[in-house]
Amino acid sequence: MMDAQPSYTLLRSRFLEAAQRHGAQLEHHKHPLQGPQGEDLYTDVAVFARPGTRKWLVLVSGTHGVEGYYGSMCQTAYMDTLAAAGRLDGEVGLLLVHLINPWGTAWKRRTNEDNIDLNRNYLDFSRPLPQNPGYEAIHELFTLRAGQEDDSRADALWESKVRELGRTQLMNVLGAGQYLHADGLYFGGVQPAWSNTTLRAIVAKYLADCSDAVSFDLHTGAGEYGHPMLMAIAEREYPGMEDARRIYGPWLYTVLTGASSTTDTGISAAATGYTSQAMVDTMQGKRFTQLVIECGTYTNPQIRGSALWNDHFLHLRGELQGPVYEQVKRDILEFFFPADADWREVVWVRSRQMFDRALNDLLARGQA
């Protein structure tokens, strides 16, 4: 259902073409930087809604740029599916936020243009930022390889940390995020990123007057291969989680995040600054449910030597062309968006089912 090696430009043209064909209202948010081919980058918004619509289904793709290949595929396919069924009628508004981190999608990176993990960036930056002393002890690992001569030292440090903490705890410390090292992993930034302020502006514009909404943030890379996992992620219980449980029953995983939290879902429960939490906070007072779909790809026994790791060092070295660059980009795309046609079909079908349940639930509300 999509080329083995798609590009940002291809995703964008397919999305816009479908949106126009089906009569969407469109808006385009231009990113300040360009993609690897010098192409301009945009977050595009497609809206299908009747005037005065107060119930909304929201799909956001590409929070982690390279994961947007999956998210975009689903957004475009869902427009086509609803149109074919005669259901793109706007009774429940459909708000499609296409590639909220377009720089990351175009460059096939999980992070944004400032090496920020957007799912650590939705914080109140006027307050003290979270501390992660555990990360301080291992940050050196993520800068050493900038020079090849440091390889053996990095190997030794990594092995000693694995022995000291164990792989699971090491990954928990990493995944919790950090706010001191712009050249490190899981960096949360020191101010709201372009994608953060852009998403907030889109939500403020379309959802300020809504009564009911269900929103999906679309991800890949954690969990078992070909298994789309449905999650509600928040710092604490909120009313919309009850709707999620009612709509999805045992399909739903609930992850409550906090400094000492853990989860076996493959995502980090210790992190703060999730898009999900920002949406929940913004939509307070409305009947709102925020969901995450996380589609498992390859199991990653350790981060060292992984596609993500190699991509981190590629950009740290500023090696943005050549055969190593090409290979690393092929690897990271494959990790987050496998070329396997069965994988792509399964994640789409399962995602569509989850979207449909939300849409049907929203439609039924207020129709006693």
* Residue ranges binding Zn ion (CB under 5 A): 64, 67, 219
Minimum distance from CB of 275 to Zn ion (Å)?
10
Rounded Cα gap, residues 329 and 307, in angstroms: 8
Minimum distance from CB of 209 to Zn ion (Å)?
30
Minimum distance from CB of 40 to Zn ion (Å)?
24
Joined together, the tokens standing for residue 62 give 């590409």
**CB closer to Zn ion out of 67 and 243:** 67
Minimum distance from CB of 118 to Zn ion (Å)?
9
Rounded Cα gap, residues 297 and 223, in angstroms: 7
Query: Which residues are within 8 A (CB) of 133 and not within 5 positions of it... i.e. 6 or more apart?
Result: none
**CB closer to Zn ion out of 158 and 336:** 336
Rounded Cα gap, residues 315 and 36, in angstroms: 12
Rounded Cα gap, residues 255 and 267, in angstroms: 9
Minimum distance from CB of 221 to Zn ion (Å)?
6
**CB closer to Zn ion out of 82 and 174:** 174
**CB closer to Zn ion out of 64 and 98:** 64
The tally of CA atoms less than 13 A away on the side-chain side of residue 114 is 20
- What are 320-327's contacts with CB under 8 Å, separation 24+? 320/36
Minimum distance from CB of 137 to Zn ion (Å)?
25
Minimum distance from CB of 226 to Zn ion (Å)?
16
Rounded Cα gap, residues 322 and 195, in angstroms: 29
Centre a 10 Å sphere on the Cβ of residue 269 and count the other Cβ atoms it contains: 19
Query: Which residues are within 8 A (CB) of 332 and not within 5 positions of it... i.e. 6 or more apart?
Result: 66, 108, 109, 110, 307, 308, 310, 311
**CB closer to Zn ion out of 66 and 359:** 66
Joined together, the tokens standing for residue 87 give 């259901």
Rounded Cα gap, residues 154 and 279, in angstroms: 39
Minimum distance from CB of 222 to Zn ion (Å)?
7
- Pairing status of strand 93-98 against strand 55-61: parallel
**CB closer to Zn ion out of 28 and 225:** 225
**CB closer to Zn ion out of 109 and 145:** 109
**CB closer to Zn ion out of 207 and 292:** 292
Query: Which residues are within 8 A (CB) of 355 and not within 5 positions of it... i.e. 6 or more apart?
Result: 57, 59, 74, 78, 216
Minimum distance from CB of 6 to Zn ion (Å)?
18
**CB closer to Zn ion out of 29 and 109:** 109
Give the H/E segment covering residue 289.
strand 287-295
